[in-house]
Amino acid sequence: RKERIVAAGALLSDTVNAMFGLTSNKPTHLRIGTAWGLDRYTTDILRQALVLISDHELNPSTFAVRVCASTGASISAALLAGLTTLSGPSHGGVAANAHKTIEAEVSGDTAFLIEAKSKPYMHGFGHPIYPAGDVRATCLLDTLGPDTPAVRHVTSIAAKWELRPNIDAALAAFAMTASLPRDAAFLIFAVGRLAGWCAHAIEQLETKELIRPRADFTPI
């Protein structure tokens, strides 16, 4: 197990460096903070975001990692399975939609907001697992503070839609507050989740069990 943990750590480090064009061995949040030119305070909020996003039980990308690892495939192959699944608009793409939704609230783009309201989860609001509110989002938004402009806009949308923001809206609010690149929320999500995927892949490899769901065919 120790060898797998070391290999996973090296893989995670190399992946982060490749994503941000770095050659560093510093802690992940410090590397990204340096790449984005963040101050110490904002870099610490980034660290918090990475921790909050690292694991979320068997979401689609993590399940894909588990399925891949269950075949005995390498950890790198399992992480690739997770990344490709995360790329979907209903998963990792939600953060980008949340960013657009907050911008629409800022600019008063009513048409966009009406359309977005018909699919709120796709725009960072509401969560099937957290009907009372996504605790990860609450934690990050509280850290940013209620008087932060992006947080005020998130709160305004939540009130109008009568839905609480989820982690994607919180990540988008953080990215906007820190003046990060437009794809920053997705990158934070991906990097944070990579760490969790490594743990899932290692655990699945150790079980030596193949994940093979059955289909229940219904005659027509």
pLDDT value of residue 156: 97
Which residue among the candidates 127, 134, 153, 200 is catalytic per the annotation? 127
H helices, E strands: number in the chain: 11, 0
> What is the model's pLDDT at position 188?
96
91 is catalytic: yes
> Residue 173 pLDDT more than 90?
yes
Q: Which of 91, 99, 123, 153 is catalytic?
A: 91
- What is the per-residue pLDDT across 112-149, written as a single tens digit (0 to 9) for each? 999 999 999 999 999 989 988 999 999 999 999 999 99
* Residue 165 near residue 141 (C-beta atoms within 8 A): yes
Do the beta carbons of residue 52 and residue 136 sit within 8 Å? yes
Let me know if 39 is a catalytic residue. Answer: no
Length, in residues, of the chain: 220
- Give per-residue pLDDT as tens, 23-79: 999 999 999 999 999 999 999 999 999 999 999 999 999 999 999 999 999 999 999
- Which pLDDT belongs to residue 23? 93
> Looking at the whole model, is its pTM more than 0.75?
yes
Among candidate residues 123, 153, 168, 200, the one labeled active-site is 168
Q: Answer yes or no: 127 catalytic.
A: yes
